[in-house]
Structure 1
Amino acid sequence: MFKGLKPIQYAGREVWPLIEGGKGVSATNHMSSGAWAAAGGIGTVSAVNADSYDPEGRIVPQVYREMTRRGRHEELINYAVDGAVAQVKRAYEIASGRGAININVLWEMGGAQRVLHGVLERTKGLVSGVTCGAGMPYKLSEIAAQYGVNYLPIVSSGRAFRALWKRAYSKVADLLGAVVYEDPWLAGGHNGLSNAEDPRAPQPPYPRVKELRDVMREGGISDDVPIIMAGGVWRLDEWNDWIDNPELGQIAFQFGTRPLLTQESPIPPDWKSRLMTLEEGDILLHRFSPTGFYSSAVRNPFLRNLEARSHRQIAFTKEEIGDHQFALDVGVGTRKNFYVTKGDLQHAREWHAAGFTEAMKTPDDTLVFVTKEEMAVIRKDQADCMGCLSQCAFSSWADNEKNTTGRLADPRSFCIQKTLQDIAHGGPVEENLMFAGHAAFRFKQDPFYSNGFVPTVKQLVDRILTGA
């Protein structure tokens, strides 16, 4: 029998321990977040390139007019701040004093600290807390303290939290609102899978969350500070043993994928329809993201193309070394001194004959073979870079004095800003990156969604509170 949830105290108010995951680039907005808070939970406005509006209420297109990447980066930060402020204000109005409103940022997004300062300065009294992951956000607590809001770091291990706590967070212990444990094998979007962990060998979350609580206790953190379980959460009756469990302390639950399929969800109808067709295994944990992090998304033609591109890849040397004795005679034009193995030379000729006539260098001394059309798109996307990440493998942009990573731009990746903006605003779902958690296949199996039923956020929260 499902134990049921009890409300918790958060930011001076009573809320359900149910958190809406803050999905970036307009996949959550004021409508979904405000409705989630109005239902008594914690709604999360994404502050990652959120939409802003003109005086008539129409979305302002994010058009970049500056000629330099640095100039476009400044435009991007202005868009990000204006958009997040607009979303927070609208969400707060919808919530009407119920629940709470958080904002979510990616630490590795371009200008993350400037965006945080800009948003919190202009939304004083409206934002209860800041969730932040995708990196090691050491300065998160310091920024939160300047505005008197809670901070909620997103981690995937007790080890990561220990490092954050010892270096910075222990100095602002009173504003630690919760710690989000994001399962690196099950969550959608960017995941905190470390190099020491096998992406093909998922570990059960309970021991890892228990370890996280132990680390928190070592730091003197009260068991009343919740650990928020994120990734793979669908029905709460499946987490019954976690509720009121003295080993774990206070537990709350974050839902990222299920709120995508609600009436208030801002994602386009085609995206919602596609969610209802997914089968188990249709979500791919991959490493094509220009962030360098693992991430999880629907294995649609967009991702399959990236997989195929990486498969059309051979190593080369600039001199005849070992098995690399054969001069490459396709894909490189008049360029000389690309030596490959006999087998790879044969592969390259086959790809060239199939229309993949252009060889593009990667930072790892390999070549990937693409069509002329594909190479033109890659080159244009790289040239149009607006610095949406602190470091971008695809364009070699970095938010530093020289604005470069010092590495060759990687054609095996893609412009994440372009594809996420496109899918969020009605672009083809099969031709763009479609983030989703690994439980997304359950939309098709769950009787709650039978006959194409799309609930309101209130109906979804009420359903979740029953355990189902």
Structure 2
Amino acid sequence: MAFKGLEPISYGGREVWPLIEGGKGVSATNSESSGAWAAAGGIGTVSAVNADSYDAEGKIVPQIYDALTRKERHEQLIAYAIDGATEQVKRAHDISGGKGAININVLWEMGGAQQVLEGTLANTKGLVTGVTCGAGMPYKLAEIAAHHGVHYLPIISSARAFRALWKRSYHKVADLMAAVVYEDPWLAGGHNGLSNAEDPLKPEDPYPRVAALRDTMRKEGVAEGVPIVMAGGVWFLREWDDWIDNPELGKIAFQFGTRPLLTEESPIPQGWKDALRDIEPGDVLLHKFSPTGFYSSAVKNDFLFDLIRRSERQIAYSKAEDGARCVQLDAGVRGKNFWVSEEDRAKAREWVAAGYTEGLKTPEETIVFVTPESRDMIRKDQADCMGCLSHCAFSSWKDHDNYTTGRLADPRSFCIQKTLQDIAHGGPVEENLMFAGHAAYRFREDPFYSNNFTPSVKQLVDRILTGD
């Protein structure tokens, strides 16, 4: 008996638990985890973001970008992504044993998202039940789903965002919209959908926001049977007791992103799993260093602290003498067209004396100060860009038109493809971006994980269904 009589839902022609595995970025959710989640009766989610493919011996194929131009490397990336996602879906389907359902997840703001989605779905006919998609405004998601005969589940963070998508596109393919995923922008891991009108430091209660979403859905004529999936901060179902069978909210399902990271089938390396057990409240930071321009949530570690401190070593400048900027900068830069305040010049001299001798310009007419080693790494990473995003602030790449954003590359950011591939394949957890939801500290507190216990996905799903 499931918690509070939680009942299966009909999805893709079969009965499944209303429990969805979050599709976590680069190789953090793959065929093993999603296939096992589906085998346990839920909806498993293969990440179609630069997924791994395998050689004839079953070894992971290294993604090497050796083409000379960014555009050619971008084409290599798309080919890797389609091959990898195709392989992961096929393996997940086999592991599921025909139970549950398999979704795929893409970020609309990833480079070549539409091509990757089209290519993967064309290669996996009959194996994918639905597509979850967020990180942007995926207007074409419904059209792509209709073309391939699959369901779609848009990921949004406000009723306003859903209404815009519905009005522009989704109302034309209403019958294939299987659910709407509400991802809490203050609690979810990875990239978050905070708008400019929302304060990252003032979290809002998800209940009224989801109630407003349901109200919008009803006003737009969305079928009452379309569930809203609560994502972000979900740990114990018993904590959401008043959401289940609630007439105001309608049908509710739940997405689990962080808890499935610590399972036997989770593909993340052991160092990442071990680190999850040590996270304390406040150790996950909502920040805006991502080259996507979105806020995102990651564990505070040396990698993140380096980005924080880099931005703190920053001063504004003018190209000509201007009011308070009345002295020429003589530290960290070459040339005479850097006018700063006397106070900022003193700061720059201190940073240079401390070893941060290289001044790098940003798109906002500021200068950040870094070590020569950091400067060399930043420039190499920018030069090696393979176009993993539709728009990249770090490298100024754009995946269409003239392939540039037209803005100065931003040294305050980082190559997200490089760091996510590295941590997912065994790189040092302190030296890479480690995504996690803000509830990750609960691994320390939840007795289920005591004595270093790591559950199988089946054990986790069974545990979740009890309310814990």
Give the structure-2-normalised TM-score: 0.99
Contact 1:4 1:465 in 2 (8 A): no
Contact 2:422 2:432 in 1 (8 A): yes
Would you say 1:365 and 2:355 are equivalent positions? no
The one-character-per-residue Cα deviations of 1:385-421 (angstroms, maximum 9, x if unpaired) are 0000000000000012210000000000000000000
The one-character-per-residue Cα deviations of 1:197-224 (angstroms, maximum 9, x if unpaired) are 0000000000000000011111111221
Task: Map 1:276-295 onto structure 2 (within 5 A).
Answer: 276-295=277-296
The secondary structure found in structure 2 opposite 1:131 is strand
Q: CA deviation at 1:12?
A: 1.0
Would you say 1:110 and 2:123 are equivalent positions? no
CA distance in 1 between counterparts of 2:51 and 2:377 reads 25
The one-character-per-residue Cα deviations of 1:68-126 (angstroms, maximum 9, x if unpaired) are 00000000000000000000000000001100000000000000000011000000000
Contact 2:193 2:294 in 1 (8 A): yes
Task: Map 1:45-444 onto structure 2 (within 5 A).
Answer: 45-333=46-334, 335-444=335-444
Letter of the 1:355 counterpart: G
Q: Segments of 4+ in structure 1 off by > 4 A?
A: none
Give the structure-1-normalised TM-score: 0.99
CA distance in 2 between counterparts of 1:465 and 1:331 reads 58
The one-character-per-residue Cα deviations of 1:151-198 (angstroms, maximum 9, x if unpaired) are 000000000000000100000000001000000000000000001100
Q: Which moved more, 1:212-221 or 1:118-127?
A: 212-221
Contact 1:4 1:466 in 2 (8 A): no
Residue 28 of structure 2 corresponds to 27
The secondary structure found in structure 2 opposite 1:105 is strand
Which blocks of at least 5 consecutive residues in structure 1 are unaligned? none
CA distance in 2 between counterparts of 1:44 and 1:405 reads 32
Identity of aligned residues (%): 74
The secondary structure found in structure 1 opposite 2:191 is strand
Contact 1:4 1:467 in 2 (8 A): no
The secondary structure found in structure 2 opposite 1:273 is helix
CA distance in 1 between counterparts of 2:258 and 2:25 reads 13
CA distance in 2 between counterparts of 1:84 and 1:328 reads 50
CA distance in 1 between counterparts of 2:95 and 2:237 reads 26
Q: CA deviation at 1:323?
A: 0.3
Letter of the 1:202 counterpart: P
CA distance in 2 between counterparts of 1:45 and 1:180 reads 16
Letter of the 2:121 counterpart: L
The secondary structure found in structure 1 opposite 2:79 is helix
CA distance in 1 between counterparts of 2:3 and 2:207 reads 18
CA distance in 1 between counterparts of 2:351 and 2:66 reads 38
Q: CA deviation at 1:4?
A: 3.5
CA distance in 1 between counterparts of 2:76 and 2:253 reads 37
The secondary structure found in structure 1 opposite 2:121 is helix
Which blocks of at least 5 consecutive residues in structure 2 are unaligned? none
Contact 1:188 1:436 in 2 (8 A): yes
Residue 463 of structure 1 corresponds to 463
CA distance in 2 between counterparts of 1:141 and 1:219 reads 16
CA distance in 1 between counterparts of 2:200 and 2:12 reads 36
The secondary structure found in structure 1 opposite 2:4 is coil
Letter of the 1:431 counterpart: E
The secondary structure found in structure 2 opposite 1:271 is helix
